[in-house]
Chains A and B, each alone.
Chain A
Amino acid sequence: MAKQLHPTPNLDELEKGPWPSFVTGLKRLAKDKDYMVDVLGHLEHSYKTRKGYWKGGTVGVIGYGGGVIPRFTEIKNEKGEAVFKDAAEFHTIRIMPPPGMHYDTGTLRKFCDIWDQYGSGLIALHGQSGDIMLQGCTSENVQPAFDAINEMGFDMGGAGPAVRTSMSCVGAARCEQSCYDEAKAHKMVVNTFLDDIHRPALPYKFKFKFSGCGNDCMNAIHRADMAVIGTWRDNMRTDDELGKKWFAKHGMNELVNDVVSRCPTKALQIKDAKDVRKGGDISSVALDDTQCLEIDNKDCVRCMHCINVMTGALAPGKDKGASILIGGKSHLKIGSLMGTLVVPFMKLEKDEDYQQLVELAQTIIDFFAENALEHERTGEMIERIGLVNFLEGIGLDIDANMVTNPRMNPYVNTGDWDEEVAKIKAKKAAA
């Protein structure tokens, strides 16, 4: 039995209502732990005064420079003593989950046992970076808690100016729209940078995220410095049986309003079966015995909308891989930036293909480490130096897929135009 609870009239309000309550969970832990009694008191104080009271510091484990998020209370009495003394330290340990966030219950129970023993018993599944967040630990217990977790085969995540913990979608494990082995790419790329995860020494954070298709369930284009988005080069696959089934259920109005008219590049047309164009870039799916949906794959931008609506009837092609975008980040300091396409297509099938992805990631991290200013994200660096300098720095050829449109101002010296044209033509001829 723990000590008596502090009154928590504000937090008690968050036990009402149908959604699962984190406060009820905190109170359950506080039955046995003085630590959590004071964490509740600490949080209630924030609710009452509408301010936060944790400050950072330096806490870590042997051999690593990051991964622990230290928190020390700032609620002190006039003598400088912690008011909630049992919650004076409330550190979080970030742990990298398996790609796709799959678990067997034995593993989750082991995490619970370790965290009941050494920590608060509060675990966030998962943090916004994708970490298992073991929330609430004293400085003294950080090392033994991490030792026990590390013995399980799990490792510390990133924090600070480091390569961060990554996320990948469920992907190939359970999604027909997956265009590469997201888990394999995630594991291979991130495990290449363990030193940069565990010993923060980059200009600022660097995030990888892996989504299996353009639906980008990992929000990679917005959030990742390097976003790997699954796509395909050949024609969309189609299945007449599932096409007919879909059409029988949904009918012409939905086909027109929800599928054809929502195609961003007008690549879809409804045709009588006999009028469907023949040709290498055309695929079609039967709607009934006389009508088909025709897809001009040269116009398709792989946005995923029609495939989302008519899953199975339409599917990604077989020549699969990924598009790579660089430089996504959130507001501070210069405003939200989305990633910029720098590789329209990278085949991801054989081990060598994945190795090529790893090598590109290494080149980009090296360039970032050398060229970014302190506290500058990759996207901000590209904004400062220009995309062309970045591409030259990492050795990628320019491609018209990289722009929304060409330059809209004349403020550039094009004196070497002919040489550039000759260089590009020679390269194309040699390829």
Chain B
Amino acid sequence: MAQAQRRAVECGVPDPAPFMHPSLLKNKGNWKYHDRPRPGVLHHVSHSGDQVWSVRAGTQRQMDTYTIRTLCDIADKFGEGFVRFTIRSNIEYILADQKKVDPLIAELEKHGFPVGGTGNSMSMVAHTQGWLHCDIPGTDASGVVKSMMDELYHEFKNEEMPNRLHLSTSCCEINCGGQADIAVIIQHTKPPKINHDLVANVCERPAVVARCPVAAIRPALVNGKPSLEVDEKKCICCGACYPPCPPMQINDPEHSKLAIWVGGKNANARGKPQIMKMVASGLPNNAPRWPEVNKVVGDIIKAYKADARPWERLSDWIDRIGWPRFFEKTGLTFTKYLIDDWRGSRANLNASAHVRF
């Protein structure tokens, strides 16, 4: 016999109080200042005089239950049974007792969780699902991120950057990874390959036509079947048609490339928030470790680390040195594809005689 169907209890977002470390609950809204005794550790002082030490460690984000239980064991032993996660998938342990900080760090490192990601370090890469789970991915996410974090391990564990450095990756141009100082995003270079046998049955054709940013798609009869066709001269290979119409395959093992974007900034600190700019494209989707992507990202980080002044985010640094020197210092090539011709593009051109020599 089938059981009676259970209806969901529409309870929504839970109250965080029962999940919060007692010191955080007690001092909520009453914190005075913080400092960072060492990379990976934040020390917060409350107006009440209470203090907490937060120890931050990197994780692989996609975690098996063994890993999560290991992190829980460590929390039970050192962190009074509470943890929290940051937006970049780092785990944080809250300690009311400073004496537990070093033993906790030792325990985390023993189990392979690097302690760091605070202040002017490079934090974990914000990333998406990729081949592991997404239905439209041009590349993997976890793998690209793993290979980058291996290369940049030292920069996660140390605070040696001019300011904080945030990275993201995205497996299609929807850019779920988000704005970042440096972002790795798929950039397709060929129009979709259409399976005309399937379009009529799978796709709502007017909706697909409406999705195209450049009106390159039109309904057509192909081999006697209702389908869609793409004006390949107009097509900008963005892939917007692929999610609503999977028979318009945009992903290509060879021609789906990776592009690098820089200078996204979420914070309002100093200048206003910034949208990132494309600075390189055409990098091969070279699984499993994407060495070409890592080389470019590494070169940008090296140049930023060497040349930016304290508190300059990547975008602040470029504002000071200018784009020609950015390309010079990173060894990247400024091509015609980096001159914006999308709507509003003239605002991105230099309407002045400001030139750095």
Contact = CB atoms under 8 A, between A and B. Distances in A.
Contacts of B130: 52
B288 A96 contact: no
Contact of A99 (B13, B136, B151, B285): B13
Interface residues on A, range: 35 or more
B72 A109 contact: yes
Given A167-B87, A311-B34, A338-B273, A25 B28 contact: no
A2 interface: no
Nearest to B126: A128
A350 interface: no
A128 B176 contact: yes
B12 A191 contact: yes
Contacts of A115: 65
Contacts of B12: 96, 155, 187, 190-191, 194, 197
A11 B147 CA distance: 11
B270 interface: yes
B302 to A, nearest CB: 19
Contacts of B75: 105
A103 B147 contact: no
Nearest to A109: B72
A239 B47 CA distance: 12
Contacts of A405: none
Contact of A10 (B20, B83, B287): B287
Question: Is chain A's binding surface mostly helix, strand, loop or mixed?
Answer: mixed
Contact of A71 (B18, B34, B133, B210): B133
Given A218-B87, A222-B179, A102 B16 contact: yes
Given A22-B146, A61-B8, A305 B311 contact: yes
B44 A174 contact: yes
Interface string A40-61: 0001001101111111100001
Contacts of A258: 310-311
A374 B139 CA distance: 28
B81 A47 contact: no
B270 A262 contact: yes
B113 A20 contact: yes
Contacts of B264: 222
B253 interface: yes
Given A47-B287, A102-B19, A303-B268, A54 B134 contact: yes
Contacts of B1: none
B31 A175 contact: yes
Contacts of A19: 58, 60, 114, 146, 149-150, 153
B190 interface: no
Chain B contact residues (Cβ within 8 angstroms of A): what range? Answer: 35 or more
B5 interface: yes
A107 B267 contact: no
B58 A20 contact: yes
- Which residue among A14, A107, A330 has the maximum number of chain B CB atoms within 10 Å of its CB? A14
A343 to B, nearest CB: 15
Interface in B1-57: 5-16, 18-21, 24-25, 27-29, 31-35, 44-45, 52, 54
B160 interface: no
A424 interface: no
A153 interface: yes
B150 A16 contact: yes
Given A47-B140, A187-B15, A187-B16, 12 more contacts: A14-B146, A18-B153, A22-B142, A28-B66, A29-B65, A50-B285, A96-B13, A100-B16, A102-B84, A109-B72, A128-B176, A198-B10
Identify the 9 closest CB pairs spanning chains A and B, nearest first. A312-B33, A17-B150, A25-B64, A214-B268, A50-B253, A46-B131, A19-B149, A191-B12, A98-B16
10 contacts: A14-B146, A25-B63, A50-B253, A63-B10, A96-B14, A98-B19, A108-B71, A111-B68, A121-B65, A214-B269
Interface of A: 10-11, 13-14, 16-23, 25-26, 28-29, 43, 46-47, 49-56, 61-64, 69, 71, 90, 92, 96-109, 111-112, 115-116, 121-128, 130, 135-136, 143, 146-147, 150, 153-156, 166-167, 169-170, 172-176, 178, 181, 183, 186-187, 190-191, 194, 197-198, 214-223, 229, 239, 242, 254, 257-258, 262-264, 301-305, 308-309, 311-313, 315, 330-336, 338, 374-375
Interface of B: 5-16, 18-21, 24-25, 27-29, 31-35, 44-45, 52, 54, 58-69, 71-72, 75-76, 81-87, 89, 91, 94, 112-114, 126-140, 142-143, 146-147, 149-151, 153, 171, 173-179, 207, 210-211, 213, 238, 240, 246, 251, 253-254, 256, 264, 266-271, 273, 275, 285, 287-289, 309-311, 342-344
